[in-house]
Amino acid sequence: MKKIGSLFILLVVFLSCNKENRLEQNIDKINTDITVERFDRLFANVEIEALSKLKQDYPFMFAKKYSDSFWIAQKKDSLQRELFLEVEKAFPDFEDVELEIESLFNHLKYYFPEFKLPRVITTTSMVDYRNKVILTDTIVLLSIDTYLGSQHKFYAGIQKYIASNLRKEQIVVDLSGAYAEKYIYQSPRKTLLDEMIYYGKVLYFNDLMIPFKSESERIGYTDEELQWAQTNEGYIWRYFVERELLYSTDSKLPNRFINPAPFTKFYLEEIDSESPGRLGQYMGWQIVRAYMENNDVTLKELLVNSSEAIFNNSKFKPRK
User: Side-chain half-sphere of 135: how many Cα atoms within 13 Å?
Assistant: 14
Q: How many CB atoms lie within 10 A of CB 208?
A: 18
Percent of the chain with pLDDT over 90: 86
Q: What is the pLDDT of residue 149?
A: 97
Q: Are 215 and 317 in contact (CB under 8 A)?
A: no
Q: Are 224 and 190 in contact (CB under 8 A)?
A: no
Mean pLDDT of 30-51: 93
User: Using one digit for the tens of pLDDT, what is the confidence trace for 60-82?
Assistant: 999 999 999 999 999 999 999 99
Q: What is the pLDDT of residue 4?
A: 59
| 28 — pLDDT class (breaks 50, 70, 90) | confident
Distance CA 220, CA 301 (A): 26
What backbone torsions phi and psi does residue 134 show, to the nearest 5 degrees? -120, 130
User: Using one digit for the tens of pLDDT, what is the confidence trace for 151-206?
Assistant: 999 999 999 999 999 999 999 999 999 999 999 988 889 999 999 999 999 999 99
User: Using one digit for the tens of pLDDT, what is the confidence trace for 126-159?
Assistant: 999 999 999 999 999 999 999 999 999 999 999 9
- Rounded (10°) CA dihedral 119, 260, 247, 178: 0
Q: What is the pLDDT of residue 15?
A: 55
Q: How many CB atoms lie within 10 A of CB 294?
A: 12
Distance CA 29, CA 198 (A): 31
Distance CA 215, CA 281 (A): 13
User: Using one digit for the tens of pLDDT, what is the confidence trace for 203-218?
Assistant: 999 999 999 999 999 9
Closest to 204 in 3D by CA, of 226, 183, 180:
180
User: Using one digit for the tens of pLDDT, what is the confidence trace for 7-17?
Assistant: 555 554 555 56
Q: What is the pLDDT of residue 22?
A: 86
Mean pLDDT of 295-307: 97
Distance CA 211, CA 213 (A): 5
Q: What is the pLDDT of residue 16?
A: 55
Q: What is the pLDDT of residue 21?
A: 80
Distance CA 255, CA 266 (A): 11
Of 73-82, 209-218, 254-263, 293-302, the one with minimum mean pLDDT is 73-82
